[in-house]
Structure 1
Amino acid sequence: MFVILKSQAQEITYGVRLGANLSSISSDDIPENLKDSRFGIVAGFLAEVPINQKWSIQPEFQYSSLGNDDESLRVDYLQLPIMLKYNFSKLFNVHVGPQVGLKIWEWEDNSTGETNFNTFNLSAVAGIGVRLTENFFADLRYGFGVSNIIDDENIPGGAKGSNRNIQLSFGYKL
């Protein structure tokens, strides 16, 4: 794999992405009146490493605001998605991969100082992309949390929940 990546190193492209998330926490432990989705932002950097003409690997580093609309259920992450990308043509692609998130902010109850969310988050991501021009592109993705994000140490009987989000972003490749 190192030889393949090294031979393709001249073709690595870099870029930036900016977009919007519509997210919610999927959980039976959250009251119905707190389940409204949150609109948030996503912004980050990417590198696309070609494997051949159809396949590439696209690691990314991004900021993403997730959670629910209620401020006590908002959480922001630094995320590292690693996408395996298949190009149907020069215009359209599909991509899938894992995504690891590190919590960098959450609303904190100042009266108790308790936090609601675990530090790390693991998700599976799938999406479709379209190349709009030589340098501009758009992606539509769905993120499905596979790890429990709720810190249940302070909740009697425990609690479970995972992130779900739809993300629309636009980007520019250098």
Structure 2
Amino acid sequence: MRKKILFLATFFIFGTLLSNAQEASYGIRIGANLSSINSNDIPKDLEDSRFGIIVGFLAEYPVTEKWSVQPEFQYSSLGNDDKSLNVDYLQVPIFLKYNFSDLFNIHIGPQVGLKIWEWEDDNIIETKFNTFNIAAIGGIGVNITENFFADLRYGFGLSNIIDDKNIPEGAKGNTRNIQLSFGYKL
């Protein structure tokens, strides 16, 4: 219940900020994830990180000269290297962004992910991953030119993504990933 209240409050605050925003900019980004599922319930031989992709759209709404809000919509491949632990999401991060200068920024915010694919074996009937993934994301960004940018982010899953119907009761795991991406603002 506490997570739902925090989630709704975040959207209300950002919605209020967006209604006052001017001079919005829009863009696309593409990059790479190095991700893993952090869990004591995954065997050691399956813990290797997965290299995946991220592709998305963004909008940036200035609030003041230094502060802006940046919601995004993206596809992201996460999980571990072993194909049985691959899971892909559609994600909606919402960042509060502070621009130190025209060159550097930092951004932080919540992210909600909706599972759209997971590796399946014909012998497994039930899913291994929960439908939603909630995470906290933080990053730094560099504006290479007026339109091109790069960012480096770290994501830490806050919710349990393991559906324990097929595995020991009480199994828990959350996502962690490092992401490097490049983008273009229109």
Tell me the TM-score range normalised by the shorter chain.
Answer: over 0.9
2:123 maps to 1:111: yes
TM-score normalised by structure 2 residue count: 0.89
Q: Is the contact between residue 28 and residue 185 of structure 2 (CA under 8 Å) also seen in structure 1?
A: yes
2:107 maps to 1:67: no
Unaligned stretches of 5+ in structure 1? none
RMSD after superposition: 1.4
Q: Is the contact between residue 85 and residue 95 of structure 1 (CA under 8 Å) also seen in structure 2?
A: yes
How far has the Cα of 1:6 moved from its partner?
Answer: 4.8
Identity of aligned residues (%): 73
How far has the Cα of 1:5 moved from its partner?
Answer: 4.2
Unaligned stretches of 5+ in structure 2? 1-12
How far has the Cα of 1:83 moved from its partner?
Answer: 0.3
1:72-118 per-position Cα deviation (integer Å, ceiling 9, x unaligned): 00000000000000000000000000000000000012113221100
2:141 maps to 1:129: yes
Where do 1:47-86 residues align within 5 Å? 47-86=59-98
Task: Kindly tell me the number of residue pairs found equivalent between the two proteins.
Answer: 173
Supply the distance in 1 between the matched residues of 2:57 and 2:70 (Cα, whole angstroms): 10
CA gap 1:132/1:156 in 2 versus in 1, 3 angstroms: same
**Aligned residue number for residue 27 of structure 1:** 39
